[in-house]
Chains A and B, each alone.
Chain A
Amino acid sequence: MIVKSQEVRSPQIETECTHCGLPVPAHLVVDQSEEQFCCHGCETAYRILQEFDGFDPEFLEQSRNAVKKQSAAQSYEHLDHPAYQEKYVREISPGVFRTKFLLGGVHCASCLFVIEKLPEFLPAVITTRMNLTAMTVTIEWLGASTRLSQIADTLDRLGYPPFPPLADKREKLERDESHRQLIRLAIAGACAGNTMLVAVALYFGWFTGMSSEFLHLFRWTSAGLAFVSLAWPGSVFFRGAWQAIRTRTSHMDLPVALGLSAGAAMGLANTILQRGEIYFDSLTVLVFLLLVGRHIQYGKQRQAIRQVSLLHAMLPRAVTRFIRPEPDATTESVPIEAIQPGDWIHVRAGDVIPVDGNLVSGSTLVDLSILTGESRGIAAKQGNRVYSGSTNISSSIVVETALVGTDTRIGKICELVDEEIRSRTPIVQFANRIGNYFVGIVLILAAVTVALWASSGMEVAINHAMALLIVACPCALGLATPFSVAFAQGRAAARGILVKSGEVFESLARPGMIWLDKTGTLTEGRMRLVEFVGDHDIQPAIELLERQTVHPIASALISDMNVAEADRLPQSALNDFLVIPGIGIQAMVQGQVIQVGSEKLLDDTSTYITDDFLATIQHFNHRGLTTVLVVRNHEVVAVAALGDHIRSDAKATIAELARLGWEVGILSGDHQDVASHVGKEIGIAEKNIRGNLTPEQKLAVIQNSTASQTVAMVGDGVNDSAALAAASVGIAVKGGAEASLKAANVYLTRDGVQSILDAITGSKQTLNTIHTTFAISLCYNAFAVLLAMSGMINPILAAILMPISSLSVLAVAASNRAFRTTNIHLQAKP
C-alpha cells in the first residue's frame, strides 16, 4: 500500500570522473552510463580528446549546442540594462568593454580550458581570463558586435552559469589584508635569512676566533635586522599584546611579545655591553614562522567564506518589472538593483519573491518557510503583504514594491545575524583560552627563577630567567592549535563541511544535546506523496488529470506515483476538463467522471465514501498530512496523503548519534502532530519533540539548554538563524538561507544529515590531535623550564631547542587523520 520514495541510492557511492578522476557530484551522475563527468568542462574536453587530435571549433560548436542550458528559465537580458552596466561594466578603450563574472560550477583544469576558449565561440570576445582561486572570469569584448547577455548565455550553455561579481568593497578589503600579510612575510623572511647568514659567520668566529672589530660589526648588523623585523612585521604581536593588556584579557600574543621583547632586550644589552649571546637570529626566525602560520590560517578561512557566498545567491538576480505601474503594461527584465519602491513586479509561480510588497493582482499560496519554518503554503490575496525570500507557489502574481534590499524583513534579519557574527572572534579565542594559564605560569616561574638565583648575583639570575622565557616561548603552543585547526578545516571543506571557527571542533568532540530543525533538515522540505491508499489502477487517470495543471500537489503526484510510460493515457482520453475553484479538478476519462481534490469534494452529498476511507482520512490529518481524494463516478476510490518526506539517511544518523552519546531533539515551527510523527518515525524520544515554535521560542529553548554541555542546533531556514547563532555549535544544512549560513559555525554542502556525523567524528580526531600537540609542547616546555630554572641551559641552547619543539608539533598537526577518509559508512535503508 505504501509508495516509497525513489531515493534508495546511498549518497556514499562516489563515482569518478572519466576525464579527471575527481569524484562526481551526486546530482551529475548519469544512470547506466560508462562515462561520468564532474563538470561540463571535463565532458567537453574529453569529447575533444576522444574524437580529434587537435582543436576543432566546429566540434565545440556542436557540443555547445548539445550541452543543455543550466537554467532554462534564466534569461540574461537584465545584464544589458543600463543599471547593471553602470555598476559592473567598464569601457577600457573605445568600443572595448571589460566585466567580471563569478562563475558557478567551476571545478578543475578542464573548466579553465573550456572557459578560456570563449573567444572561439564568440568572436566578439577578445580575451577571457579565469581566476580559479576567486572563481571569477574577466571578459573583454567588442561592444559593437555582441551584447553582454549573449556572452552570459554562452557561458551558461557551456555549463557555467555566471553571476555578478561579489561586492567590490569586501573583495578589495580582503585582497588588501592579504597583501599586507604577504609584505610582512617578505620582510620578516628577508630579515630572518640575513640574520641567520650573519649568525653563521658569528658561530664560525666563535670557534676560529674573530677580531672584536668584526664581531661588533656582525652583532650590530644582526641587531639592526632584528630591529626592522620586530618593528615592522613583528609589530603585529606587540599590538596584540598591548590590546590584551588594555582589555585585561589573556592573548596568545602576550607571551610571544614578552619572549620577543625579553630576547631583544637581552640581545641588545649584550650587544652594547659586548658580552654573552645575542638572540637575534632566533627572534627573526620566530617572527617569520609565526607569520607564516597566520597567513595560512587566514587564507583557509577566506576560501571557506568564499565558497559559502558562491553557493548562495538567495534572491533572484533578474526581476520582471512592468514599465508602467499597471497590470496591462508591457514588462521588462531588469536586475534587482534597479527596482525602486513603487515599482510593479511580476512573479511567476515557483519563483522567489524578490521584494517586500503588497499583492495588487492575483491570489496564490506563498511558501514562507524561509521566514517562519512553516512548510505549508499560506494563502495570499489582493492587498496582502508578501515578503522577499519567500516562494510564490501556485500562480503568478503582481506585487507593488514597498521595501527593497536591506530594508526588507529578510534583509533586516541578515543584518542582525551579521552583527551577531562580528561580536564573536573565531579561531584566535580558541588558542587564547587554552593559552590563558600558560602566560601567568611562565611569568611566575620567571620571577621564581630570579628569586632562586638572586643569591648568585643579579646578572646570573636574569640570565637564567631570560633563558627560561626564551625556552618557554609558547611558539609551539601558539602554532599547534592554529595549524591543527587549519589542516582540519581544509580537509573538512574538501569533504563538503565548511567549519568557520576552531571552537567547533572542541564543542563537537564532547557529546551533548543536539536539536534538529524538521523542515528541510530531517525532511526534504518539499511536498511528496507519502501514502496512496485505494485502487492503484486509477493512477494513470490521476496522472492524466494532474498533467493539466501546475501545482505543487500535481507535480508531487505525477513524479511520485511513477506511472510507467506504457500505462500512461493519451491526451485524447480526456474530455470536459474542469477546475473546481478551491476544491480540485474534474474530467471525463474513458467515460467515467474522475474528480481529484480536497475533502471539500465530500460536501457534494452525491459523493459516496466508505467508513474505512473516512478513518484513513482522519488518520492522515492527525499525522499532519495533506489528503487528496480521488472520486470515480461519485464514489471515493482512493486517498493520497502528501507531506514532507523524511530523508533516507535520517533514521540511521539519529541512531548513530544516540550511540555516540548525544541526546537528540526536534525543534520545529510546524504543527506539533507533524513534528511528533516525524520524530517517532526516526526514533526520537517524545519529550524532546517540540512543535509550533516561533523563531523566538526556538532561541529560548537553545538558551535554556545552554547549561553545562554542548548544545548543537542543526537547521536551514532564516527562522533558525537566531537559534543557530545562540547554540554552542550552529550547523546549517544545504539549501538553507544565507542568513542561517552566516549564523552557523558549520555549513554542510552535501544533502542529508549524515555529514553531521562526519563533522562530529572529525572533530573528535582534531581535538585529539590538538591535545597531543599540546601534550608534546607542554612536556617539552616543562622539561626545558626545569632545566632553565636549575641553570643547566644557556640561552644559546634554548634558542636551538625552540624550533625543534615547533617542528615536532607541526609534524603531529599535519599527520591528523580527521576528515581524510569517510569514518562511518551508513547504509540508507530502502
Chain B
Amino acid sequence: MSVIYIALPIALFMAALAVVGFVWSVREGQLDDLQTPAVRILEDDKVKSKH
C-alpha cells in the first residue's frame, strides 16, 4: 500500500499538467470560438479544376 505515497503525487502531478495544458490553450485563444471549427470540417477539400 505504500506505493500510494508515489502514486498519489504522480496522479496529482498529472492532473496539474492537464490544468496547465488547459490554461495554456485558453490563453492561446483556442477556446474563443467554439462554433467555426465544427462547421469548417463540413467543407469539401479543394477539388482540382476540371480543365
A and B are partners in one complex rather than unrelated chains: yes
In the complex, what residue of chain B is closest to A210 when comparing beta carbons? B1
Shortest CB distance A476–B (Å): 28
Is A327 positioned at the interface, with any CB of B under 8 Å from its CB? Answer: no
- Which residues of chain A come closer than 8 Å to B43, judged between CB atoms? 112-113, 116
Q: Mark A203-218, 1 if CB is under 8 A from B, else 0.
A: 0000000010010010
Pick the residue among B11, B23, B42 that contacts A186 (CB under 8 A). B23
CA distance A654 to B38 in the complex (A): 44
Shortest CB distance A829–B (Å): 41
CA distance A53 to B30 in the complex (A): 34
Q: Are A133 and B34 in contact, CB atoms less than 8 angstroms apart?
A: yes
CA distance A194 to B18 in the complex (A): 12
Q: Are B26 and A183 in contact, CB atoms less than 8 angstroms apart?
A: yes
Given contacts A131-B36, A132-B35, A187-B19, contact A57 B49 (CB under 8 A): yes
CA distance A799 to B33 in the complex (A): 36
Interface centre among B1, B39, B47 (most CB of A within 10 A): B39
Q: Mark B1-34, 1 if CB is under 8 A from A, else 0.
A: 1001100100110011011001100110101111
Is A372 positioned at the interface, with any CB of B under 8 Å from its CB? Answer: no
Given contacts A116-B43, A194-B12, contact A186 B50 (CB under 8 A): no
Q: Are B8 and A133 in contact, CB atoms less than 8 angstroms apart?
A: no
In the complex, what residue of chain B is closest to A120 when comparing beta carbons? B46
Shortest CB distance A130–B (Å): 6
Pick the residue among A133, A179, A193 that contacts B15 (CB under 8 A). A193
Is A686 positioned at the interface, with any CB of B under 8 Å from its CB? Answer: no
Pick the residue among B11, B29, B33 that contacts A132 (CB under 8 A). B33
Q: Are B50 and A134 in contact, CB atoms less than 8 angstroms apart?
A: no
Q: Which of A184-210 contact B (CB under 8 A)?
A: 186-187, 190, 193-194, 197
Shortest CB distance B18–A (Å): 7
In the complex, what residue of chain A is closest to B46 when comparing beta carbons? A55
Q: Which secondary structure dominates where chain A touches chain B? A: helix
Q: Are B26 and A182 in contact, CB atoms less than 8 angstroms apart?
A: yes
Shortest CB distance B24–A (Å): 10
Q: Which of A6-31 contact B (CB under 8 A)?
A: none
Is A221 positioned at the interface, with any CB of B under 8 Å from its CB? Answer: yes
In the complex, what residue of chain B is closest to A194 when comparing beta carbons? B15
Pick the residue among B1, B12, B23, B33 that contacts A133 (CB under 8 A). B33
- Which residues of chain B come closer than 8 Å to A581, judged between CB atoms? none
Pick the residue among A56, A175, A221 that contacts B32 (CB under 8 A). A175
Chain B: residues with Cβ within 8 Å of the partner, total of 30
Q: Are A179 and B19 in contact, CB atoms less than 8 angstroms apart?
A: no
Q: Which of A137-193 contact B (CB under 8 A)?
A: 175, 178-179, 182-183, 186-187, 190, 193
CA distance A175 to B28 in the complex (A): 11
- Which residues of chain A come closer than 8 Å to B34, judged between CB atoms? 133
CA distance A704 to B26 in the complex (A): 50
Q: Mark A547-566, 1 if CB is under 8 A from B, else 0.
A: 00000000000000000000
Is A801 positioned at the interface, with any CB of B under 8 Å from its CB? Answer: no
Q: Which of A724-766 contact B (CB under 8 A)?
A: none
Q: Are A190 and B27 in contact, CB atoms less than 8 angstroms apart?
A: no
CA distance A197 to B8 in the complex (A): 11
Q: Are A190 and B4 in contact, CB atoms less than 8 angstroms apart?
A: no
Is A109 positioned at the interface, with any CB of B under 8 Å from its CB? Answer: yes
Shortest CB distance A42–B (Å): 13
Q: Are B36 and A178 in contact, CB atoms less than 8 angstroms apart?
A: no
Interface centre among A113, A186, A197 (most CB of B within 10 A): A186
In the complex, what residue of chain A is closest to B32 when comparing beta carbons? A175
In the complex, what residue of chain A is closest to B27 when comparing beta carbons? A179
- Which residues of chain A come closer than 8 Å to B46, judged between CB atoms? 55
Q: Are A134 and B33 in contact, CB atoms less than 8 angstroms apart?
A: yes
CA distance A183 to B15 in the complex (A): 14
Q: Are B33 and A194 in contact, CB atoms less than 8 angstroms apart?
A: no
CA distance A131 to B46 in the complex (A): 20
CA distance A197 to B26 in the complex (A): 26
In the complex, what residue of chain B is closest to A129 when comparing beta carbons? B36
- Which residues of chain B come closer than 8 Å to A182, judged between CB atoms? 22, 26, 31
CA distance A55 to B12 in the complex (A): 51
Q: Are A56 and B49 in contact, CB atoms less than 8 angstroms apart?
A: yes
- 25 CB contacts below 8 A, A to B, read A53-B47, A55-B46, A55-B47, A109-B39, A112-B40, A113-B43, A130-B36, A131-B33, A131-B36, A175-B29, A175-B32, A179-B26, A182-B26, A183-B22, A183-B23, A183-B26, A186-B19, A186-B26, A187-B19, A190-B19, A194-B12, A194-B15, A197-B11, A211-B1, A217-B5
The 9 A-B residue pairs with the shortest CB-CB distance in the complex, in nearest-first order: A54-B47, A132-B35, A186-B22, A109-B39, A132-B36, A131-B33, A133-B33, A182-B26, A190-B19
